[in-house]
Chains A and B, each alone.
Chain A
Amino acid sequence: MRYLLLMCGQVEAPEPAVVPEPRHASASSDGEEPCWMPWTREMEARGVILHDGAQLQPVATATTVRTSGDDILVADGPFAETKEVILGYDVIECADLDEAIFAASRHPVARDGGVVEIRPILAY
């Protein structure tokens, strides 16, 4: 099954988020690997397929769009004002919810006080 892991936390990434690199990129030029790299290696070793994933720019950059008739309503900020914001996401493919829970529990965001929301992706 495919799951979206939404990485949520109260704190923004301290640095403006780096432009997401492809998961399979080698260590970045300064020799330090991103904090999620060990996680991707661990998941791949377990047979969890990582389809996509990225760290997001800070929530200050969020824009919300609604429509009303022909009007496009644009607002600054996330869709819900909550303490916890979405920091990033991963789309994974694994056997079942137990595997997805394991993947979430091992992610640096979950291990650093954040919350991971697991959403099964609707399959057609």
Chain B
Amino acid sequence: MTDIQAAVADAFRQEWGRVVATLIRMTGDWDLAEECAQEAFATALTRWGSDGVPDRPGAWLTTTARNRALDRLRRSKTEAAKLQEVAALSGPDELPDYGDSGVTDDRLRLMFTCCHPALTLEGRVALTLRTLAGLTTAEIAKAFLVPEATMAKRLTRAKHKIRDAGIPYRVPPAHLLPERTGGVLAVLYLLFNEGYAASAGDDLLRPDLTGEAIRLARLLTRLMPDEPEAAGLLALMLLQDARKAARLDDDGDLVSLEDQDRSRWDSAEIAEGITLLAAALRRQRAGPYQLQAAIAACHGEAATAADTDWQQIALLYGELRRIVPSAVVELNRAVAVAMADGPAAGLTLVDNVAAGGELAGYYLLSATRADLLRRLDRRQEAADSYRTALVLAATEPERRYLSRRLAEVSS
């Protein structure tokens, strides 16, 4: 890669979302915005070679893309109304402010619009990756294991709904903000989880998706510095991502938290996560992401599995369950209680969760039950539960882990 190619590739990662976001605000046309952004980056490849890399690549790219949009609109539209649109576009004050002026960043508008609840969840995820992160349709299709044509349709459908149903391009007003912010955080966390614990396929980890999720969460914390849950989400992602090198063994099999080689954890990511979390918690508005990050921090801070403060983790899960009543949270609390107070205490909680019926078909319910029974040396029951979990597990490494445990209790 030449220096120029590297400079453009770097600018692409830094500026793509901003260029697209600004062009959408100016033109109201998502397809036009994407196409003109693409052309601006293509132009950069040749022009930066002859003219040198501009001081402010983002401003150069946005201006180039805007001029391209102007050309296209002039050529294609003749009606008076459209000409007015063009005139408005050529106004001098339409370019984004690259300083720190407190003006709403277009990328925040874009993020909230991509994550609007009137879009399907999969549409929200795909649109966020395409318009904000700059992944190609083919890349997104590959990440979600669907044919490219399917992904293209999904993106088109979401963009058309935004246009035709009148979904506003804006940061929601105060009365909608908490709920809609929760929606944005949920999409980013879903993206992270899809990369961290793939829901299908043979690869358990997809670092491309976790990397994009972390990048977008970083952006969100910069754009919403007063939102502790945004920082909580970023901290949570970092603290989980820090363990990625130790989560799989050489055969690609899942390694349980207690068996992981903690020297392979990324200490810089853990430290950053803990610092972010501490700052967020000082705002005294703890929410689900901060609590989950606090739990991840308990693990991150423990030098060995035996040093883990399970009492604290059980308390945090209890607090989490109070805010987000969920059987999955209760299942996790059961695991923590089992570690703090013994497998029998945990099993009682797991059986309560199972009786609730909400998690029927969830492989981790059976897998957790199996592990607790194994620790209680109730081998026959443990084997039965491992067999149930095996049927329900979605990925190959999960199945291999369960098969290994099943062999242990059956021997």
Contacts and interface: CB of A to CB of B under 8 A. Distances in A.
A6 to B, nearest CB: 14
A97 interface: yes
Contacts of A101: 118
Interface string A93-105: 0011110110000
A1 B118 contact: no
B176 interface: yes
Interface residues of A, number: 10
Interface string A42-81: 0000000000000000000000000000000000000000
A120 interface: yes
Contacts of A1: 166
Contacts, number: 23
Contact of B176 (A3, A98, A118): A98
Contacts of B166: 1, 3, 95-97, 100, 120
A120 B167 CA distance: 10
A120 B166 CA distance: 8
Interface string B140-176: 0000000000000000000000001111100010001
Contacts of A97: 116, 118, 165-168
Interface in B224-256: none
B184 to A, nearest CB: 15
A96 B167 CA distance: 6
A24 to B, nearest CB: 26
A96 B169 CA distance: 10
A3 B165 CA distance: 9
Contacts of B116: 97
B164 A120 contact: yes
A100 B164 CA distance: 13
Interface in B118-137: 118
B168 A96 contact: yes
A98 B172 contact: yes
Contacts of B165: 97, 118, 120
Contacts of B172: 98
Contacts of B118: 97, 101
B164 A95 contact: no
A71 B166 CA distance: 39
Contacts of A100: 166
Contacts of B168: 95-98
Contacts of B164: 120
Interface in B80-133: 116, 118
Nearest to A94: B166
B81 to A, nearest CB: 12
B149 to A, nearest CB: 27
A121 to B, nearest CB: 10
A43 to B, nearest CB: 16
A3 B172 CA distance: 20
B117 to A, nearest CB: 8
Most buried by A among B116, B164, B166, B167: B166
Nearest to B172: A98
A57 to B, nearest CB: 29
Contacts of B176: 98
Nearest to A118: B165
A114 to B, nearest CB: 19
A61 B166 CA distance: 34
Interface of B: 116, 118, 164-168, 172, 176
Nearest 7 interchain pairs by C-beta: A96-B168, A1-B166, A96-B166, A97-B166, A120-B165, A97-B167, A97-B165
Given A95-B166, A120-B165, 19 more contacts: A1-B166, A3-B166, A95-B168, A96-B166, A96-B167, A97-B116, A97-B118, A97-B165, A97-B166, A97-B167, A97-B168, A98-B167, A98-B168, A98-B172, A98-B176, A100-B166, A101-B118, A120-B164, A120-B166
Interface of A: 1, 3, 95-98, 100-101, 118, 120
14 contacts: A95-B166, A96-B166, A96-B167, A96-B168, A97-B116, A97-B165, A97-B166, A98-B168, A98-B176, A100-B166, A118-B165, A120-B164, A120-B165, A120-B166
